Amino acid sequence: MMFRQTDSRKITRPLLLGVLGVFSALSCVGQEVSGQGLKDYYQSFFPIGVSVSPRVLKGEEAQLITSQFNSVTPENDMKMGVIHPRENEYNFRGADSIVAFALRNKMKIRGHTLCWHNQVPGWIFKDEKGDTVSKEVLLKRLKDHITTVVTRYKGKVYAWDVVNEVISDKKEEFYRNSAWLRICGPEFIEKAFTWAHEADPQAVLFYNDYNEINPAKRAKIIQMVKNLRAKGVPVQAIGLQAHWAVNEPSEDQLEETFADFAALQLPLQVTELDISVYPKEHEARERKASDADTSYSSEKENNQAEQYRRCFAIFRKYKTSLTGVTFWNLSDRHSWLDNFPVHGRKDYPLLFDRNFQPKKAFKEVVSF
């Protein structure tokens, strides 16, 4: 790993300077001297992706992205709220720049996401008087949205998260109680897949959700996908978000999760992987006195490295089902977990540290 670990004690000073010069010419941000990035270690397994914003497509972060990954997902720029802010106005700027970057660097592009209850623009559920629209109007708007966005990136985006998070976390509830469901009933789900397929018959269409390691929620996801497929709806693959933590999932939970999904015999992807260094909490909450220690201690580092090792061992085991693993954010410099579940609590959930250097967890992921 990196020239930092070269044993310099036996090297005389002029020789050391020369050696360092050669090494720094050879090495670049986050890349091993050997030139191997994550994507290279996993070449015979699955593509390794990362979620990106237009901001990281320049400078050091861009270099880290292209040296380590062979797939990208726009973190926000294809979400309805960003790409379709007003009924007759699309904003393709961010999404276009990510797509152009990926094509320039011969990377795959996952589209994320066509229909979700969050980050939706206010106009979509309202008429000009501010009243809730009818099912017919909402479905027409959804069709226009999906057709426009999928057609624009046809042949470029190879896979779409068509529908995101429609299954409820509550035991007694099947579908999430969202505005989509209240206005349309569950029909919007099958329509979304059908329209995406019409717009780009080659794109692989995913249902994507989180907390897939919970047996009750997983059973509902599997049930829904089976029902839709039995009706001929083109749900072709399943995205497991994998927003995990040092203590969750356990080895057994991981194994059961993959065994259950693999039994569907559909392609699976890990679509939003990160491993928080804090014990898992599912709900947002206020910061408390006990949250004061946000240092990246060696205990946190070791626990995280071990959890990453466990996860990737399972991913490799299920390589015939798994067609991609995507990290949610690039490095510990910035992650959505810095503000969730506790606002302003620094987290360190990724394989690269705040200076873009590979962490202990990186080593565990590539040592096999």
Name the residues annotated as catalytic: 165, 272
Binding status of residue 68 toward ligand GLA by CB under 6 A: no
What is the spatial distance between Cα 47 and Cα 70, in angstroms, rounded to a whole number? Answer: 6
Element (H, E) at 323: strand 322-327
Binding status of residue 31 toward ligand GLA by CB under 6 A: no
Binding status of residue 274 toward ligand GLA by CB under 6 A: no
Which C-beta is closer to ligand GLA: that of 235 or that of 305? 235
Report in angstroms how near the CB of residue 34 gets to ligand GLA at its nearest.
33
Are 184 and 135 in contact by the 8 Å Cβ rule? The answer is: yes
Binding status of residue 175 toward ligand GLA by CB under 6 A: no
- Which residues are paired to 219 by β-bridges? none
- Which residues are paired to 207 by β-bridges? 163, 238
Which C-beta is closer to ligand GLA: that of 261 or that of 328? 328
Q: Are strands 243-245 and 268-276 parallel, antiparallel or unpaired?
A: parallel
Binding status of residue 362 toward ligand GLA by CB under 6 A: no
Report in angstroms how near the CB of residue 253 gets to ligand GLA at its nearest.
19
Q: Which of residues 198-237 bind ligand GLA (CB under 6 A)?
A: 210
Q: How many helices (H) does the chain have, and how many strands (E)?
A: 12, 9
What is the spatial distance between Cα 1 and Cα 23, in angstroms, rounded to a whole number? Answer: 12
Binding status of residue 336 toward ligand GLA by CB under 6 A: yes
Which C-beta is closer to ligand GLA: that of 272 or that of 332? 272
Binding status of residue 32 toward ligand GLA by CB under 6 A: no
Report in angstroms how near the CB of residue 33 gets to ligand GLA at its nearest.
33
Are 358 and 308 in contact by the 8 Å Cβ rule? The answer is: no
Binding-site member from 164, 178, 257, 276 for ligand GLA (CB under 6 A): 164
Instruction: At 173, list the tokens.
Output: 């509830």
Which C-beta is closer to ligand GLA: that of 36 or that of 341? 341
User: b/e map of 284-302 (b: 16 or more CB within 10 Å)?
Assistant: eeeeeeeeeebebeeebbe
Give the start-end residues of each E strand in 177-267: 204-209, 237-240, 243-245
Binding status of residue 117 toward ligand GLA by CB under 6 A: no
Report in angstroms how near the CB of residue 329 gets to ligand GLA at its nearest.
8
Report in angstroms how near the CB of residue 119 gets to ligand GLA at its nearest.
7
Which C-beta is closer to ligand GLA: that of 114 or that of 305? 114
What is the spatial distance between Cα 279 and Cα 244, in angstroms, rounded to a whole number? Answer: 9
# chain residues binding ligand GLA, by CB under 6 A:
6
Binding status of residue 364 toward ligand GLA by CB under 6 A: no
Binding status of residue 61 toward ligand GLA by CB under 6 A: no
Measured CA distances, 105 to 51, 67, 212, 313, 330 (Å): 15, 10, 32, 28, 17
Contacts to ligand GLA by CB under 6 A: 112, 164, 210, 241, 272, 336
